[in-house]
Structure 1
């Protein structure tokens, strides 16, 4: 267990713990609003920004963040244009993100570190990465805590929120932008191809065991933190991919909860 005392592992643990708070929190709102796939969409667009960052010599995560935020606004525009087929907005933006990323990666330097952003590279986090992740975590927590009542109403009954006078469009954009921020900093931890799991699976678990809105928020954070800590320890000891280990742990936990719930139903 010498790896636990190493500096790179401690940075990985700090970054993982921060993302273990914000990603499940944002994912919870997305799942309840039936926007689970937005994680995949924004992560693929963010990868295009990362590629451009490498090409022009700008901090890749910052460029990915800008791309993801721009994509979040585009998604909201398309959702309004296709009200009856809102999921089309996600498919269109995702396709554009993948297409642009493929062009930028092939046009860029052959030494461009693609895999670390596709599959995650939590052990390579530096101080700048940690400050960025910490800043995003602070913003997300401040917004959710200060706007919890409004977010609750919009999440469960958007029409009622509109009738009550809440600026629904503003809150929709705000949720999308916060999601873009979280995904942009999470792709270096679990990777663009896996980040959606960290958004959605803790929420899926909480829907099984939580009995209230507040309890659900606490549950998704607890599940996210457990998966990150356990995943990093297992990956460190057995020399496994950290991002993949975290995701597989989440899936295993979800399956266990589903089996337990089924057992209770059969027993009752």
Structure 2
């Protein structure tokens, strides 16, 4: 009964409501993007951009600026730079991501050292904190998540073609480079939006886990997206409420719920086969 009371209490708190709204927006964005990134074998770009966002947060805290406003343009430029390294410098995707992410972590550590070390604010950005979500963060997350979902729906057929067969998509006149840049840009925005709830070190899991979980039982592309979105929202809601009830970091709680759901769906897949 005590847990039920804590859940009811959590649902009535303003900061919890903001966390769940932002979490839902991130869950939808990451679930819709996840299938394109996973099937194109670009899933590690999320991890690389998460490391870039660590450096941008350190820069923002040093300057006393809004981490969201500083991170979005810089992380977007970093995603485009990774694509450029892959296309023009002949550096394959994983190597390009490794170069950019390792440089960004080193830069973030140096900046935090100059600023006087890791403080509570930076720690909350590393691993997520539902207490850190402000009203403006919520409004900005809703607007940007709406933009991401709208663009994915608008370019759905082009993205679908590029994901399954990029060479064929290019032959029939689809701008494959433009679609790849669109995916990278939308991923950048999603990564930045998620750092408040999940943290820079764990946000990439929000893109990978729901999609991989959905792929265990889905039978089509669209069903994968739908199941992924449902799984992502359940993981965020459960993780955010669980973090309040059991006094745990929100980011780690969400990832653990995602991991549990993946194992559950994997078990379901094997049971169905048997």
- In the other structure, the counterpart of 1:216 is 224
* Equivalent runs, 1:77-88 vs 2, <5 Å: 77-81=84-88, 83=90, 85-88=92-95
Extract unaligned runs of 5+ from structure 1.
none
Is the counterpart of residue 149 in structure 1 residue 157 in structure 2? yes
- Correspondent of 1:188 among 178, 193, 196: 196
The two structures have a TM-score, normalised by structure 2, of 0.93
SS at match of 2:198: coil
- For these two proteins, the number of residue pairs brought into alignment is 266
The answer as to 2:48 corresponding to 1:35 is no
Two-structure CA RMSD over aligned residues (Å): 1.4
Q: Compute the TM-score of the two structures, normalised by the length of structure 1.
A: 0.95
Displacement after TM superposition at 1:85 (Å)? 2.9
Residues 214 and 224 in structure 2, CA contact (< 8 A), matched pair in contact too:
yes
The unaligned stretches of length 5 or more in structure 2 are 1-5
State the 1:153 CA deviation: 0.1
Equivalent position SS for 2:253? helix
Q: Does 1:226 align with 2:234?
A: yes
Q: What is the alpha-carbon distance in structure 2 between the residues aligned to residue 149 and residue 25 of structure 1?
A: 13
In 2, distance between residues paired with 1:170 and 1:109? Answer: 42
Output the CA distance in 1 between the equivalents of 2:120 and 2:238: 30
| Corresponding position of 1:166 | 174
Separation in 1, partners of 2:227, 2:33: 13
In 2: Cα distance, 1:86 partner to 1:234 partner: 36
Structure 2: distance between partners of 1:213 and 1:45: 30
Is 1:129 aligned to residue 110 of structure 2?
no
* Alpha carbons 2:11, 2:17 under 8 Å: kept: yes
List structure 1 runs of 4+ shifted beyond 4 angstroms.
109-112
Residue in 2 that maps onto 1:19: 26
Q: Distance in 2 between matches of 1:86 and 1:47?
A: 20
